[in-house]
Amino acid sequence: MLLGSIYAQSSKKEDKNRDVLSEFEEMKKNFSESESEWVFSKIVTAENKSKEDIYNKALEVLADIYKDSKDVIQNKDKEAGLIVGKGFIDSDIRTINWASICRNRCWHLIKIEIKEGKYRISITVNSVWNETGADLRHPFKGTEYKLSNFYPYWKDCKPKHRITSFDNLKFVYDSSMGIIRNLEEEISKKLASNDNW
């Protein structure tokens, strides 16, 4: 009976490991990767919209999403149709075992390239910040880790820690894809509101 129980637990861990690996392969379809960073990119059409109009709405949206355009926008060039910004997203608090809680912070380098009738959003991420034993009464005090420090890049990760390790990469992925979706939706809404005054 004990041997069957051990085998069942081992089999469940192997199944979860396969699930993580297949999920990671699916995620990789939405970004390019180099040794040290992930780059997410999407081209969005904005038919019959001028470069200037798209540019102005993109600036407004970045200010709305991150609450402070002065801290977020690093470089802007209206003539070239280029906006470069940097902002972060914090994760929800999560429990990693019965006694520890953690949270993440992901800094996104955001680049919006604008032409007549279309624009490209690019998000670059090269690390994730993690705070284990988070004290919610105090500001975030995490430690920066390269993406390669997490499973499945980290090949020696113990099986019992793989899902927790992978959750850090999943947060980077989800937050980056969410920012792209949010930028696209909000820019589209602002462009449409110009037509309906």
Q: Write down the domain spans for the chain.
A: 17-190
Contact 133, 101 (CB under 8 A): yes
Listed in sequence order, the residues at least 6 apart from 25 whose beta carbon sits closer than 8 Å to its beta carbon are none
The pLDDT, as a whole number, for residue 57 is: 92
pLDDT confidence of residue 13: 56
**Angle at the Cα of 149 (from 146 to 154), degrees rounded to 5?**
150
What pLDDT is stored for residue 5 in this prediction? 46
Write the pLDDT tens digit of every residue in 23-76.
999 999 999 998 789 999 999 999 889 999 999 999 989 888 887 777 888 999
Query: Interhelix angle for 2-27 vs 162-195, to 10°?
Result: 30
pLDDT score at 91: 85
What pLDDT does residue 6 have?
44
> What's residue 72's pLDDT?
86
Which residue ranges of the chain lie beneath pLDDT 70?
1-16, 96-99, 194-197
Class in CATH terms, 17-190? alpha beta
Report the relative pairing of strands 127-132 and 73-77 from DSSP bridges.
unpaired
